[in-house]
Amino acid sequence: MTGADGGGQRRTEADGVMRIGVLTVSDMGAQGRREDSSGDAIQAWAEGQGYDVVVRSVVPDETALIAGKLSRWADSGEVDVVLTWCPTRRRSSPASSAAGRIRAKWTWC
């Protein structure tokens, strides 16, 4: 992984490795009150498939923050795919669902 919250390096055509961003949507995780074990599992899976996890972040379940992060990553050119995860007891909140539809290239919410 090249950056904890952005700042990854751009890929060249010769690299050929899919660059992944992992975004966990969790109020408690964003506050540091819960470990991001879901993000750890997604990262381990992606790296096990030979993908390069270049950015990873945890944001609270707020539309503007989710959409902003997804937009920055999608527009930066540093990722090929963004995997999002919403480890809540409910299916997904209106905020995470709406924001995921805005810019996500791939989503697990």
Over residues 30-44, the pLDDT tens digits come to 999 988 888 999 999
Over residues 7-24, the pLDDT tens digits come to 455 545 556 889 999 999
73: its two tokens: 């990553």
- Residue 80 domain-assigned (yes or no): yes
What's the predicted TM-score (pTM) here?
0.68
- Residue 2 domain-assigned (yes or no): no
- Residue 5 domain-assigned (yes or no): no
CATH number at residue 86: 3.40.980.10
- Residue 12 domain-assigned (yes or no): no
Number of domains in the chain: 1
Exposure string over 49-78, b if 16+ CB within 10 A, otherwise e:
eebbbbbbbbbebbbebbbebbebbbeeeb
Q: Which residues span the domain enclosing 59?
A: 19-103
Strands 52-59 and 19-25: parallel
Gap between the Cα atoms of 23 and 12, Å rounded? 23
- Residue 63 domain-assigned (yes or no): yes
Query: What values do phi and psi take at 38, rounded to 5?
Result: -65, -45
- Residue 76 domain-assigned (yes or no): yes
At residue 4, the pLDDT reads: 47
At residue 9, the pLDDT reads: 54
